[in-house]
Structure 1
Amino acid sequence: MIEEGKKTINMLTVCIDLLTKHSVSKEILKNDFNVSYRTIERYINDAESFFHENGYDIDRITNEEGTSYVLVPNESSDEKITAFLNEPQLLLLTEILASSRILKKEEAHNFINTLQKIAMVECMSPKQQDIITAATGTAMDKYRETKSSLSLKADSTFETIEKLYRAVYSDRKKITVIKLVYTNLNGETKEHTVQPVSMAFDSNHLYVRAIECGDTTKCLIRSYRVDRINSVELFKDAKTDIGDKREYSGLPIPKMMFSTRNSPETIEFICRQPAVGAALDYFPENLKCVFYDKNGNKVDSEEETRPDGYVKMSINDYPEGCMFWFMSQGENVTVLTESVKAKIKHKLEETLKYYSK
């Protein structure tokens, strides 16, 4: 009699093999699980009912090499039944994966191949297959990698992310010390011993935000792009410089990761339509708003500022990243904080010099 836990694992293995390989050998399953042919047949019978409800049947094909179980779409007329991963879902996941660039290119390519197996692309029409092939080619053509050789990477990206999340979120109060082998934008690879405080996704990249060990005076939070991390080592009992990491993990994340400051500052600005909605989306966490109609009277909502009113906004954030958004809005945004105004003016003057040559 097979114990229930082992049976569950065996059943899960059978289902995953059918989803990803579309065909499994009865003989191989028998040898791998160390069970009888009758037990393998019971596994397949149990799996059949699950797959049938989702639009698939399991065919039995016997030849000189033995018996194979093959997963095939059934003739169900129920329109509610869909594939485990249909064509639009597959295309969407491929585009998201390529745009995020979290994984190494090779890892992303292998992952997309696995998704295509789960979607059973080989069972789709030639037209659908052509669409998926073209979309995959386009996604991989635009896939960018770091300048450095990622063959240095000891961990897979999934292992790296798992270790980073464990270091950051296993304890909300206590800092965990980790050692990163990191390749910067210029292709230089160095070791960094850091105290991670949070994870962030920004401008198509995943970052770990951390404080360098020994940086007791500045405690400057630096951002390390995950796809440039070659390996991660966790130190269980290392001494840390920070007593409670909540005061750091609670800080706003600098927009576009452009931050040379230790702490954010209060920035006030006036926002006019149509930029008001964009500002509400861009600064969702710590934005304070006072709404005015076209006559300068206070109103209760953003909708009442339309079409010619404005919103006085205040945020607690890092100016280096925010000012790029301010400049992108042109005359629809007026920055009131003098220090940020000066930075924007200087940036625009330097840019004008460049284009006046």
Structure 2
Amino acid sequence: MEKEEQVYRILQLYDRFRKGEIINKLKMADLLDVNERTIQRDIQSLRTHLERSLTGQSIIYSRANRGYLLTGEKEGLSSKELLTITKILLESRALNTNEMKDMIASLLAQSSKADNKLIRSIVGNDLLHYRPLQHNQSLLDMMWDIAASIQTKKFIDIVYERIDKQQKRRVVKPVSILFSEYYFYLIAFIKDSEHATPAIFRMDRIRSFKQLNERFSISEKTRVEEGMLRQRIQFMYSGKLDRLQFIFRGVTIDPVLDRFPNGRILKTLDDGWLIETETYGTTGCMMWLLSQGEKVEVISPKEFREQMKEMIQTMVNLYHEK
């Protein structure tokens, strides 16, 4: 009986360590109705096992936290992490109802019964009233298969339905899958295209795809560019690579640098900041810059500054009295 109780305590300790908890001997002793020396022996037994099993994990004492914690390679997600991921998933509305419910159920299966109940009480109303996007497409299988094509560097043949409902067949070199503003996107280079910039396909509009046996190669320069794609694409609009400069006169510069991760401050002004950023195309940038109202003034390129002026004038004309 005593041996069974020891096994139970050690398993509970490891489960708590694995979830990222800090174990205080006194509090744990009170919780399990044993003395501190017993908890100390249990922690030492668990520490010895981890050292012998070569898991890369170890248990250390933290003076700052006044307790023991697990370090090294982490297994599983803590309940705090599960709650955070669940809330982000529900807010994204990126999956249809069945895929969303299945994914959340899989996530919460990693938590204890008590934590599972707590998380469900927090997100239950969100899940009950969950409304997927209008396309309501299943995406997980397709994303997994296309991700495999990216990994093996194989061309894929896709049938893509444009916003005007016309369908086009394309053979493309898939290089990345991104998520932005509710949707998943495939970033790919169209085979034999004269354009050096990538094309962007909303994944729920891919009606069919087939992996081809033909492989593609990626130069070192292209590989570096791939890492910059997410920073240079705004609202999933493509185009030629442009370098923009604009003045931002907001209270804080944070919203600008969050929106343009590759943006940099060229100069701090008395009433704002001069910002430079690189982006594929200007359509997506224009949408965000216009949303900032009088806080933004585009400086260059000159053609884009003129486009902004024309768009603002068009907007003003909408409010002229009839």
Query: TM-score range, shorter-chain basis?
Result: 0.5 to 0.7
Structure 1 contact 267–315 (Cα < 8 Å) conserved: yes
Map 1:126-275 onto structure 2 (within 5 A): 129-138=120-129, 140-141=130-131, 143-146=132-135, 150=137, 157-170=139-152, 176-185=154-163, 191-215=169-193, 217-237=194-214, 245-246=222-223, 249=226, 252=229, 253-259=232-238, 261=239, 263-275=240-252
Structure 1 contact 256–321 (Cα < 8 Å) conserved: yes
The equivalent residue for 2:273 is 311
Separation in structure 2 between the aligned mates of residue 127 and residue 256 of structure 1, nearest angstrom? 36
The equivalent residue for 1:329 is 292
Structure 2 contact 155–211 (Cα < 8 Å) conserved: yes
One-letter identity of the residue aligned with 1:118 = Q
Distance 1:192 1:240, change over 3 A: farther
Distance 1:242 1:86, change over 3 A: closer
| DSSP 3-state at the match of 1:146 | coil
Separation in structure 1 between the aligned mates of residue 32 and residue 161 of structure 2, nearest angstrom? 53
The equivalent residue for 2:44 is none
> 1:54 aligned to 2:15?
yes
User: Deviation digits for residues 67-91 of structure 1, max 9, x if unmatched?
Assistant: xxxxxxxx6479989xx76765444
Structure 2 contact 265–274 (Cα < 8 Å) conserved: yes
The equivalent residue for 2:51 is none
> 1:92 aligned to 2:84?
yes
Separation in structure 2 between the aligned mates of residue 130 and residue 213 of structure 1, nearest angstrom? 50
Structure 1 contact 103–227 (Cα < 8 Å) conserved: no
Separation in structure 1 between the aligned mates of residue 117 and residue 97 of structure 2, nearest angstrom? 27
Distance 1:47 1:245, change over 3 A: farther
Separation in structure 2 between the aligned mates of residue 105 and residue 125 of structure 1, nearest angstrom? 20
Distance 1:118 1:345, change over 3 A: same
One-letter identity of the residue aligned with 2:145 = K
One-letter identity of the residue aligned with 2:275 = M
For residue 102 of structure 2, the aligned residue among 110, 118, 132 is 110
User: Deviation digits for residues 48-68 of structure 1, max 9, x if unmatched?
Assistant: 954563259xxxxxxxxxxxx
Where structure 2 has 5 or more consecutive residues not aligned to the other structure, the ranges are 1-5, 18-30, 34-38, 40-66, 70-75
Per-residue deviation, 1:212: 2.5
Percent of aligned pairs with the same amino acid: 21
Distance 1:46 1:204, change over 3 A: farther
Where structure 1 has 5 or more consecutive residues not aligned to the other structure, the ranges are 1-44, 57-74, 295-307
Structure 2 contact 161–206 (Cα < 8 Å) conserved: yes
One-letter identity of the residue aligned with 1:53 = Y
Distance 1:272 1:114, change over 3 A: same
User: Deviation digits for residues 167-206 of structure 1, max 9, x if unmatched?
Assistant: 33445xxxx3112244444566554321223333322332
Count of aligned pairs:
261
Structure 2 contact 90–127 (Cα < 8 Å) conserved: no
Structure 1 contact 91–135 (Cα < 8 Å) conserved: no
The equivalent residue for 2:22 is none
Distance 1:311 1:186, change over 3 A: same
User: Deviation digits for residues 192-246 of structure 1, max 9, x if unmatched?
Assistant: 321223333322332111122342x234522112344355422232689999744
Distance 1:186 1:80, change over 3 A: farther
Separation in structure 2 between the aligned mates of residue 322 and residue 198 of structure 1, nearest angstrom? 21
User: Deviation digits for residues 100-148 of structure 1, max 9, x if unmatched?
Assistant: 3443331111111223333355x5698875444223224x23x32416x
Structure 1 contact 275–329 (Cα < 8 Å) conserved: no
Distance 1:76 1:135, change over 3 A: farther
Distance 1:80 1:184, change over 3 A: farther
Structure 2 contact 237–284 (Cα < 8 Å) conserved: yes
Per-residue deviation, 1:166: 3.3
Separation in structure 2 between the aligned mates of residue 348 and residue 130 of structure 1, nearest angstrom? 47
